[in-house]
Every structure is written in C-alpha cells, then in structure tokens.
Homo-oligomer: A and B are copies of this chain.
Amino acid sequence: MSATTSSSTLQEPLTPFAVLDRSVIDANIDRLERRLADLNLPLRLHVKTSKSVDVTRRVHREGPQPIAVSTLAEAEYFADDGYTDILYAVGLAPAKLDRVVALHARGVDLSVLVDNTDQAEAVAAASRVSGHRIPALVEIDCDGHRSGVRAESPELIEIARILHDGGAELRGVLDHAGESYFSTGAEAQARDADAERAALITAAQRLREAGMPCPVLSSGSTPTAHSPSEKGGMTELRAGNFVFFDLVMAGIGVCDLDDIALSVVVTVIGHQSGKGWILTDGGWMAMSRDRGTAAQKIDQGYGVVATLDGEIIPDLLMTGASQEHGILELRHGSGGELPELPVGTRLRVLPNHACATASQYQEYSVVDRTGDPTRILENWPRCHGW
C-alpha cells in the first residue's frame, strides 16, 4: 500500500470520499513542532488518527521517528515502512504477546503498556520465554478518565517490580489526560497538562526511590500538548489528532475551523423544502456516528458544511444521519437563509472526530488549498483492523 498520484478533481470520485488538505496538515505539524522545539522535547506522534505512512511522512521528513499506535495492525504496518521505535499505547491483552514478540524478532523496539500485575507477569514471562526483554511502561492515571494506576499507589511499585525483576525492561511511565478533551480554553487545558506532568514526575520519583530505573516519562494528548504549560521532567510528548484536528478540538479552543485538514465530500441528492432540509449521500457510514460536539457549548451536529473549495457555508450543519443519507439544515435559531444547492452539488463536511471519520475510509484524496483546492494530487491509503 503506497501513495498514488492522481490527475482528477474533487468532482470526479464517486461520493462519499475522504479528503485531506496537505497544506493544512503541514501547518498543524509546523505549529506543534515549533512549540516542541522551544521546549526541546521530542514528539512521539500517535498515528491512530491517520493510520497512514503518507501522513506520517509529513511529520517525519527525514525518516522514521518514534510513534505510538493503538493496534498491533498499525505497529505491523508502520514496521513495514521502516519504523522501529513503536509504543503500543493501549493496555496489553496478554494473548497479544506472541505478536509483540514477533515484532521484536523483526528488530522493532515495540514497547507495551500495563497497569496491573497480571499484565506485568505476562510481559515478564514472555520476555523470559522469548529471550526478548520486552520494554513496558506503567500507565499512570492522572485524571480518572480511563485506565492506569495512581502515581501514589502501592500497585505502581508492585507492577514495576514484577517487570524489572522478572525479565522485562521497565522503561518508564506514561499517562494521558483524556479528560482534557472536555476542557474548554487554555487555562483549563493548562491545568490538565500540569496534572499529567505532576503525576508522571511523582511516579518516576517513586520508582527511582524504590531502586528501579525510569528513563521514559511519556505524557500527552492533543489539548495538553498544545497547552503552553511547563513540561520540564517529561522525556517525550504524545499527540496524534492535531495532524487533522476536528470540530471537537475547535470547540474546546485548541484549533480553528480553518485548521481542520479532514473533510468528507458528499453530493446533494434531494430536498425537503417544507422542512428546510437538504439530503445528501453521506450518512453515518461516511461520517461515523461520532457526535462529540453534542456535549459542547456549540453542537455542530454530524458536521459543519463547506463548499467543495473548502469555504465554510455559514450555519449550514449536517444535523441527521441514516446509514447512507445525510440531512443538512441551518443551525436552529440562526435566522440565516438556506443556500440553493441543487441536486448533484458536491459539498465538504468537516467531522466531529477525525479519528472516527477517517476510520470509515480505505484512503484519502489529497488536495492543497494553496493551489487549486479541488485538484486531487495524490491518494494515500491507510491501514485497518487489528
């Protein structure tokens, strides 16, 4: 699977299909890289949003750098492209250790994540049996969002001890401020970032005091990575969504609508004039069922609608979705006028959640708004499954 060049425009592929604007991606990358350069802090790009080596190459222009993945399928796909420093950033199901070991046998430095003694014992046992010292990070829970042990908990030491003494490689600690996706504004995000950092520093200190190594302190999320908070003590930042951004990130103030690189092209297939509805051929299969902005101050429905050129149409939202039908209407109370969009008109819809929408597609059609914004330059495939 690799990129193919194209000589068509966004008027040609049958709808729905996913579009990326590579100039927007480049600007998003540039923004975070400038920030990390100031901090002298390396980025471990989370590739679960794009799952595309072509997108990742926009970040890693000089060749593979450290990445985080959400599935072993991603790890294998990126390993095929020469990536060797890969963190599998989801708590490990022990049955997956054979595939982890197989990646080590290929020369990939794949680290895994654990937050309990059962997992730690399984990783230690697989290390002893395979002869590969599998590197593992202990997941720290900094905000009660999901998984991980508390930095102050006795379990942290217990888990680390099993790894360290049992034949695995205790590589360090990791956390993720998942709650920051619900924190609006720079101040709230800075508090999340501070909590992320403080938890790791505490955890690392406890490990060292217990006589164990803790070379890696890995934290991050797109909101906290972009927060202008103190990062001292971290050894790497993880972020992934920022490459594409989306309406949820715009809703909490991490980006503007203009920074969203991913959209879905749909075609108008009808109207219900009495109700002010425009019907399209892009439903939830095209956008995903993600309604992340429903919980935000401004609910963007299933997406914000733009022209095929990428110009946002004021107050036009995708408000309804069947499997292969979308309903567009004006934002309730906007007082605007429904634009005339005849059957056959193509539009772009910006998604709530880039990770979810992108996952509905096998490839991306790539444009660049610094030139003709509807000219497709390349098609970039992406990986799937587990």
Contact = CB atoms under 8 A, between A and B. Distances in A.
A270 B99 CA distance: 20
Chain A contact residues: over half helix, strand or loop, or mixed? loop
A278 to B, nearest CB: 11
A36 to B, nearest CB: 23
A37 interface: no
Interface string A5-20: 0000000001111000
Interface residues of A, number: 59
A40 interface: no
Interface in A57-74: 70-72
B270 A325 contact: no
Contact of A355 (B15, B271, B323): B323
A290 interface: yes
B289 A356 contact: yes
A16 B356 contact: no
A270 B147 CA distance: 7
A269 interface: yes
A289 B271 CA distance: 27
A353 B284 CA distance: 12
Interface stretch (A112-120, A209-217, A224-232): A112-120
8 contacts: A93-B269, A95-B267, A147-B272, A178-B322, A289-B289, A289-B356, A323-B355, A361-B385
Given A15-B95, A116-B270, A146-B327, 7 more contacts: A17-B386, A91-B281, A93-B269, A147-B279, A288-B288, A289-B291, A289-B356
